[in-house]
Chain A
Amino acid sequence: MSSEGLVLATAVGLFAIGSVGALLHRHPVAMLMSIEVMLNAANLLIVLGARVRGLADAESAALIVLVLAAAEAVIGLGLALALFRRKLVPDIDEAAEVRG
């Protein structure tokens, strides 16, 4: 297996692991963390692409994805905390009828 193939397989594996985690976890914050793993896997793929193609543009795209992850984490955690204000049971499925 070549190095590129290794990294490619790792990125794919990380993505699948993250998606399984998003389905397994019931705690909202843990679910968010699994989604972050998926995001990182995609970012790894972008960086691999940058390395293979030798493009600095792709690397800056990866940097922007990082910023996006930050924004998404902020909002996601805000939502999770807002959920916790109402329910004490940390189960994401209990929040099926949230208003406002």
Chain B
Amino acid sequence: MMGLLAWAWVFTLPGLVLTALGVPRDRRYAGYASLAGPVVLLVVAVVALLGGGSSSVAFENWLPFLPDGAYRALADELSALMLAILGFVAAVVYVYSLGYMADDPGKRRFFVYLDLFVASMALLVLAGNLAVLLIGWTGVGISSFLLISFWRDRPGTLSAGLQALAANAVGDGALLLAASIVPTGCGPLVTLSTQQCAAGPGGAELLALLLFIAAAAKSAQGPLYFWLPNAMAGPTPISALIHAATMVAAGVYVLVRTHALLELAPQVSLAIAIIGTATAIAASLASVFQANFKKGIAYSTIAQLGYMFAGVGVGAPFTGLFHLFTHASFKALLFLAAGIVIHGAGGRESLAELRGLGRFFAFSLWGFLIGSLALIGTPLVTAGSFSKDAIIDAALANQPVIGWILLLGVTMTGLYIGRLFGIVYLAPAADQHAVHHDPSAERPMNWSIVPLMLGSIVLGYLGNWLRTVLSGPLGPMEPLPPVPNLTGGLAFTLGALGFVVAVWYVRRPEYAAAPGETSYRADAWVRAIADAGYAASASLSRIQSGVLTRYVFGSVVAVAAILLIRVSLR
């Protein structure tokens, strides 16, 4: 079955072609042809995961201009797990979209883009070397852009899509650079840590750094976070699929896949941990002040990805992967539950307008509640606790400062998700007529999130089994902390505290969901930095005079100079 899985990226392509050609002629059933793809993917991936083993495909000399230009695909337990996650969340999102996008004129285009995304993501996960990884990487970037800017008539969607592309371009550039400095004959991705492969220019550190930059761009970490909150301009189902469960997880996946390389570069690992933690805290803080429902959840995604990065950075890649696994389930659940309310309120997303409307949607309320409990790590009941505990434990063992920061940060997690839950679902009931119920659309939406609810509860128990299964690709790992344990209990207490405080705070009638005018004026030094940057770029831009002759002169003189330098250095 692993052999079949190595070609998993082909699975959604028939659906793509059929939907693009308009195969279910009836517009109401547009997109049904694409449903089979993710389901097949899920089934094959789960069977392959249970079976174990690995399979690889290689076509040599496929891209002769790169040092390692072969087409390599590797299907092992790790890729099977990622594909199972992808298939699971994608199948749920496809069914959900049948309801959410039911009245949308661009429904067919939507499913075609979704198929393109799933195929690219599968190719990314199955990539056996950097060249193929790059193809999958750009593929998900393009589909992400197409889906973010899906609604062309709404303002701001194109700009959001372009921002995603811009951040992606940084990551693509880093990955391309990595692909070109890897020495010839290095072979598959998994051998990047070997002596031969890490011996290229800059050594293992440079390679690890480039991979980290690429991962950070994809997973919205550090300064490259900006595109993810704006990506909420796209339809909610893709916020759930791409920007919560799968594409943003690609960064974590790449770091886990190349964890052996990261072990050779301890400073880069530390940087990963620090930036992950800083992003987690900053994003959690930002989420508390959001006025838009989806953006609040988006900042939560950034924060949780920060936790995963921290897990990888402290030398416990399995914990990061485990959290990816559980997070996919409950974050998609949170988004889709939010989408039910947003759809019912006619597309409105601001918290001020959605106040109290959640209580009219029972499935959404329970889904969001389960998702929130999983996010703050309710022990035994939800999956998030197992994985978050694992990360915090590993961090406390290896980098105690980071561990304590992560532990205390769970308070803010509870705070922001409690705020969101409180405003939308528990606030005093608003006008019933502000929502409209559409049973035919809501049925697929409501029932599609039930598997996610179950997943958010149950998937955590698979931790030890996963540890055994993944011992092949990931090597020997630290044992997972026993459940329940002290740090887990402490984390949950802090999170629950934050949750309860937030809920109490927002239920008060005088609470305004939209942050008002602040009296904060940018300090003089901030302004000075901005002015300095502007002056520097203005002076540099005078080189672009537009006078062609000057450009030619510059080019010729530069060529001559380079030649002379090269000759004299020989």
Chain A residues with a Cβ under 8 A of chain B: 19, 22-23, 31, 92-93, 95-98
Interface: B528 (CB within 8 A): no
Query: Are B546 and A96 closer than 8 Å at their CB atoms?
Result: yes
Residues of A within 8 A of B556 (CB): 19, 22-23
CA gap between A54 and B552 in the complex, in Å: 35
Residues of A within 8 A of B552 (CB): 19, 22-23
CA gap between A23 and B552 in the complex, in Å: 7
Query: Are A96 and B545 closer than 8 Å at their CB atoms?
Result: yes
Interface: B547 (CB within 8 A): yes
22 contacts between A and B (CB under 8 A): A19-B552, A19-B556, A22-B552, A22-B556, A23-B549, A23-B552, A23-B553, A23-B556, A31-B548, A92-B548, A92-B549, A93-B547, A93-B548, A93-B549, A95-B546, A95-B548, A96-B545, A96-B546, A96-B547, A96-B548, A97-B546, A98-B546
In the complex, which residue of chain B has the Cβ closest to the Cβ of A93?
B547
What 1/0 mask marks residues of chain B from 529 to 566 whose CB sits below 8 Å from any chain A CB?
00000000000000001111100110010000000000
In the complex, which residue of chain B has the Cβ closest to the Cβ of A20?
B556
Residues of A within 8 A of B546 (CB): 95-98
Nearest CB on B from A75, distance (A) = 15
Residues of B within 8 A of A22 (CB): 552, 556
Nearest CB on A from B536, distance (A) = 23
CA gap between A98 and B546 in the complex, in Å: 8
Nearest CB on B from A30, distance (A) = 12
CA gap between A31 and B556 in the complex, in Å: 14
Which among B545, B552, B553 has the highest number of chain A CB atoms within 10 Å? B552
In the complex, which residue of chain B has the Cβ closest to the Cβ of A18?
B556
Majority secondary structure of chain B interface residues (helix, strand, loop or mixed): helix
Which 5 pairs, one residue from A and one from B, show the smallest C-beta to C-beta distance? Answer: A96-B546, A19-B556, A93-B547, A96-B547, A22-B552
CA gap between A12 and B548 in the complex, in Å: 23
Known contacts A92-B549, A95-B548; 14 further A-B pairs (Cβ under 8 A): A19-B552, A19-B556, A22-B552, A22-B556, A23-B552, A31-B548, A92-B548, A93-B547, A93-B548, A93-B549, A96-B545, A96-B546, A96-B547, A96-B548
Nearest CB on B from A45, distance (A) = 14
Residues of A within 8 A of B549 (CB): 23, 92-93
In the complex, which residue of chain B has the Cβ closest to the Cβ of A96?
B546
Nearest CB on B from A87, distance (A) = 13
Residues of B within 8 A of A97 (CB): 546
In the complex, which residue of chain B has the Cβ closest to the Cβ of A98?
B546
Nearest CB on A from B550, distance (A) = 8
In the complex, which residue of chain A has the Cβ closest to the Cβ of B544?
A96
CA gap between A95 and B546 in the complex, in Å: 7
CA gap between A96 and B547 in the complex, in Å: 5
Residues of B within 8 A of A19 (CB): 552, 556
Nearest CB on A from B153, distance (A) = 26
CA gap between A22 and B546 in the complex, in Å: 16
Nearest CB on A from B139, distance (A) = 29
Nearest CB on B from A37, distance (A) = 13
CA gap between A22 and B552 in the complex, in Å: 7
In the complex, which residue of chain A has the Cβ closest to the Cβ of B545?
A96
Nearest CB on A from B178, distance (A) = 29
CA gap between A95 and B548 in the complex, in Å: 8
Which among A92, A95, A96, A98 has the highest number of chain B CB atoms within 10 Å? A96
Residues of B within 8 A of A96 (CB): 545-548
Nearest CB on B from A69, distance (A) = 18
CA gap between A97 and B552 in the complex, in Å: 17
Nearest CB on A from B492, distance (A) = 61
Nearest CB on A from B541, distance (A) = 14
CA gap between A19 and B555 in the complex, in Å: 10
Nearest CB on B from A18, distance (A) = 10
CA gap between A95 and B545 in the complex, in Å: 10
Residues of A within 8 A of B548 (CB): 31, 92-93, 95-96
In the complex, which residue of chain A has the Cβ closest to the Cβ of B559?
A19
Nearest CB on B from A19, distance (A) = 5
CA gap between A96 and B546 in the complex, in Å: 4
Residues of B within 8 A of A92 (CB): 548-549
CA gap between A23 and B556 in the complex, in Å: 10
**Residues B383-409 near A (CB distance < 8 A):** none
CA gap between A33 and B562 in the complex, in Å: 25
In the complex, which residue of chain A has the Cβ closest to the Cβ of B550?
A93
In the complex, which residue of chain A has the Cβ closest to the Cβ of B546?
A96
CA gap between A97 and B548 in the complex, in Å: 11
CA gap between A60 and B360 in the complex, in Å: 72
CA gap between A23 and B548 in the complex, in Å: 9
CA gap between A80 and B436 in the complex, in Å: 60
Residues of B within 8 A of A23 (CB): 549, 552-553, 556
Nearest CB on B from A25, distance (A) = 9
